[in-house]
Amino acid sequence: MVFFVLTLLAEIIGTIGGFGSSLFFVSIFQFIYDFQLVLALTGLLHVFSNTAKVFLFWKAIDWKLTLWIGSSSLLLAVGGAYLTRYVELEYARLVLGCFLLVFSVFFFVNPDFSAKPVLKTSLLGGGVAGFLAGFIGTGGAIRGLVLASFNLERNLFVGTSAAIDFGVDLSRTWIYIDAGYFGNAPLVYIPLLFVASLLGSYLGKLALARISQELFRKVLLGLIFLVGVSLILETLI
């Protein structure tokens, strides 16, 4: 029951924030389970939740951005996932945390700043997000910062982010399963992840409809900032 409730909360917050539940899910469950199992559970949760979001936000997806960001994300997510078999980068989460802190603050104090959603920026941001998703289990905040810099409308943001993330999570989850990361985990986790992802995505969409675009951006950047703090503390403590 605790597993389901925490997963549901992570999914609701991740939907409202616009960049998925992995940052919250990984932050919580890495203290409870082996990190390889957490990677596998996170990947499976995202496959379920992104499928739900693609249907819920189908009319608000920018398919051009999905192709640009998704292609580089998918390619480097596979590389990052394979790399987990051989390399343990102890301070990767610390570096990511510092990066998130700096840029979330920058975007918050410069609300009028925006970047053009051109091919070069999309490929670079997608590649970094995909690699981190495969290697340390979470790249959604980087993708969130990239999409935030484009000043996308909130439904467009969430739908496009989910469409991008779908291929990334499907590929890395397959690699985790093939590498045996699920181990002897109880099979009951699978239906719990499925139900939490569907319910959390739906409740998140309802909450999203009640907030303004300005508030959505502040919530997004605030969550990214908190995740950055969490990643730094997790590494140093």
The two structure tokens encoding residue 75: 């390619």
Where residue 198 falls among pLDDT bands split at 50, 70, 90?
very high
Kindly report, residue by residue over 15-59, the tens digit of the pLDDT.
887 766 766 777 677 778 887 888 888 888 888 988 998 989 998
Query: What are the tens digits of pLDDT across the range 90-132?
Result: 667 777 788 788 888 888 888 877 777 788 888 888 888 788 7
In which domain, by residue range, is 62 found?
A: 2-236
What's residue 213's pLDDT?
Answer: 83
137: confidence class by pLDDT, cuts 50, 70, 90: low
pTM, two decimals, is 0.75
For the residues 193-217, what does the mean pLDDT come to? 89
Number of domains making up the chain = 1
> pLDDT grade, residue 202 (50/70/90)?
very high
